[in-house]
Chains A and B, each alone.
Chain A
Amino acid sequence: MHGFANPARFLRLARWLMPLMLIPGLVLAMGALAWGLLMVPPDRLMGDTVRILFIHVPAAWLGMAGWSTIAISSVIELVWRHPLAGIAARAAAVPGAAFTAICLATGSIWARPTWGTWWVWDGRLTSFLVLLFLYLGYIALASPAQRDAASGGGASRVTAIFGLVGAVNIPIINRSVVWWNSLHQPPSITMGKSAIDTAFLYPLLIGALGFTLIFGGVVLARMRTLLAHIQAEARLRRKAMA
């Protein structure tokens, strides 16, 4: 793992890995969306509105995967002091927040025709909105903390601790529909069993794979940008000293 402690080595890998994730990701995601929008039969109760499934569910998974990335990277940063871990955590925050927002927006649009309301304060919806606020707080905290760390302070650890504390929300989101009566449906896919007919399941899984690759590609791209920023700032500081 510490082989990639050298950013130059990581950057060489990221340069060719990034398009390798982004391009197949875009193809798979767009293909799955076209399949879901044009070829899938209507649902027995929801009719055509079922097509929102193919963007809502991958966005929900990635919103949670984003914070899981932040939490795991934060552990690695705090315990092993790996120089790239903090960068990876920061890089996952913006795409994670974007997918969380997409999930909330599409969910709201889907809720109006199916449930008969745009929004309710049930366990699942509320905990997912909290996830969006956690992301926004994390993003707001991360960049001043990074600046402080670059000038020798210890504030980048504050971001990592926030990432860990926020991770408490992830199992709560996952279990919210089981613990509490909620208007949101219970999980359709549990332990290898699926209550989703294969006509919907295959485009959903392919779309999820595609969006995950896009997510990974964006994280790599953002890591490269953040590293470039840090290098540029360090160079400016050296120049100012000289």
Chain B
Amino acid sequence: MSAIKAKHQRLVLLVIALLALIGAGLLAAYALKNQAAYFYVPNDLVANPPEQGRAIRLGGMVEKGSIKKAADGVTVHFIVGDGKARIPVRFTGITPDLFVEGSGVVAEGRMEGQTFVADNLLAKHDEKYVPREMKDMTAAQAKQVVAETK
């Protein structure tokens, strides 16, 4: 009888300890919510404009049709948007392979006037994995191709 009671006591104690632990973890994660973000989205920068020249990261989608190469051949201008706000970006250097229109990008740099001047570009891959041959197809078309090749 006493053995069962001791086991019961340990279980209750452990459940309480676990709840406290999870609570502490959640509180810490919640407190980190804004500090642990790796980058700001354009809407954050519009809502809370950072100081000019302070080093920050800007992340979002490269707007379709917005990439323009300057005459010098190494400077690119493009617009990063998040569906709510859009910010023009200037970058001089070699862009990563995955830097394409309609895809995610993280730019490291600073605001100069209304333009974000980036010293470094990182491409962000989304969660989709699609073979090259199927990239322009809709899901239904792709399914048909797969069915035909079987």
Contacts and interface: CB of A to CB of B under 8 A. Distances in A.
A171 B97 CA distance: 32
Contacts, number: 125
B123 A43 contact: no
Contacts of B5: none
B3 to A, nearest CB: 10
Interface in A153-194: 164-165, 167-168, 171-172, 175, 179-183, 185-188
B109 to A, nearest CB: 14
Q: How large is the interface on A (under 10, 10 to 19, 20 to 34, 35 or more residues)?
A: 35 or more
A196 B106 contact: no
Nearest to A176: B36
Contacts of A41: 131-133
Interface in B15-30: 17-18, 21-22, 24-25, 29
A46 B132 CA distance: 9
B129 A53 contact: yes
A117 interface: yes
A226 interface: no
A46 B131 contact: no
**Residue from B17, B33, B36, B121 having most chain A Cβ neighbours under 10 A:** B36
Contacts of B103: 45
Contact of A171 (B25, B120, B131): B25
A116 interface: yes
Contact of A79 (B7, B40, B131, B133): B7
Interface string B100-126: 100100100000000000001111111
Contacts of B25: 168, 171-172
Given A43-B131, A115-B125, A187-B127, A123 B38 contact: yes
B10 A168 contact: no
B14 interface: yes
Contacts of A197: 129-131, 134, 142
B48 to A, nearest CB: 15
A115 B36 CA distance: 19
A5 interface: no
A37 interface: no
Interface string A22-40: 0000000000000000001
Contacts of A186: 126-127
Interface in A75-116: 75, 78-81, 113-116
Contacts of B59: 181, 183
B11 interface: yes
B98 interface: yes
A155 B148 CA distance: 63
B76 to A, nearest CB: 14
Contacts of B18: 164
15 contacts: A43-B132, A44-B132, A45-B100, A53-B129, A79-B10, A114-B97, A115-B122, A164-B17, A168-B22, A168-B24, A183-B124, A185-B125, A197-B130, A197-B131, A198-B146
